[in-house]
Amino acid sequence: MCCFSVTTPLGLFARLFQRPVHVSATNIFTRMISSGVQALAYSMNLDTREPVAMVLPLPVAPGSGEHAVTFVDLSAEPKLFEDLAKLFEIQQPLARKGGLQFPSRSAPTLVVHKVGSFVASYVPTRADFARLDPRFRLPEVLFDAVPHYTDYGFAVFQLEPGKVTVHPMALTFPTRESGKLFFPTVHVHDGTFHERAKFDHALYFQTPRCTELPKTAPYGGFEGDAIGWIEPSKDYAGLIVPKQAMLRRTLHGKRANEDTWITA
């Protein structure tokens, strides 16, 4: 879920002319890094005039406690998703001639973690939002619209105002669904849940069920998802398996406003 909690302006005039949070080009990567533990990285283009918090719901295994989530600093890897996108590029003129040319690689207060250019907190239950700064709490309407979030955990990233591409935010967590990869694709940008929403998402993932690169142009596929023509060469702080196929699913246009699950 890409849910933003923003400060409510004082005064009717300020509220009427409050500029909404604008988000585009969302990229998410997930992988099961060990039995029952999922890694997740998230990035997007953000345009906001006010400090905001982005809240990601997580299907954390019940009873995992306040320290279930481990945040991963990817400030040294701002081009993670640019690199992943390049794995899927081919030069089409050469492909039509039968050849391929690959691009070159280029209670107490909740604990607050400094993670690169932002700070992050883990909120283990819905009730624990009371222990977080009021500016960064979820609107109650979301729990009415998505009732299964009631027993989820939540990662909260506090972001500064501006028009920026946010460097990847990443974490690992013990998941309750060890056979599935969870992508937080529900989004709430204006404090209201809409049954349908505009998507501009690229979902990247790795699974041991897919290990071979595509052999046909223009794109190879696995269960309906694209396979990169090149294997990643870096592990990006241990999130990615080098020399293993990368897969991608794209979501665009108006769609049902719901999270995405893919078999691990």
**CA 79/CA 183 separation, integer angstroms:** 20
pLDDT of 24 reads 78
pLDDT at 257 over 70: yes
Average pLDDT for 43-64: 86
- Measure Cα distances from 50 to 19, 22, 83 in Å: 9, 12, 30
pLDDT band, very low/low/confident/very high, at 99 (cuts 50, 70, 90):
very low
Does the pLDDT of residue 92 top 50, yes or no? Answer: no
The CB density around residue 2, as the number of other CB atoms within 10 Å, is 21
Q: Which pLDDT value is given to residue 132?
A: 79
Res 113 pLDDT > 70: no
In this structure, of 4-13, 56-65, 253-262, the range with the lowest mean pLDDT score is 4-13
The whole domain housing 11 covers 2-263
Q: What is the pLDDT of residues 176-197, one digit of tens each?
A: 999 999 999 998 766 678 889 8
Higher-confidence residue: 25 or 136? Answer: 25
Average pLDDT over all residues of the chain: 81
Q: Model confidence over 195-228: pLDDT tens digits?
A: 898 899 999 999 999 987 876 655 568 999 999 9
pLDDT band of 95, cuts 50, 70, 90: very low
| pLDDT at position 194 | 86
Structure tokens belonging to residue 238: 């241990």
The larger pLDDT score, comparing residue 158 to residue 59, is at 59
Of residues 137 and 17, more confidently modeled: 137
Question: Considering its fold, how many domains does the chain have in total?
Answer: 1
pLDDT value of residue 32 = 98
| CATH number, domain with residue 8 | 2.60.250
Distances (CA, A) of 225 to 92, 112, 143, 210, 250: 19, 37, 31, 11, 8
Residue 163 pLDDT grade (very low, low, confident, very high; cuts 50, 70, 90): confident
User: In sequence order, what DSSP letters do the residues of 56-80 get, joined into one string?
Assistant: EEE-BPTT--TT--EEEE-TT-TTH
Q: pLDDT grade, residue 144 (50/70/90)?
A: confident
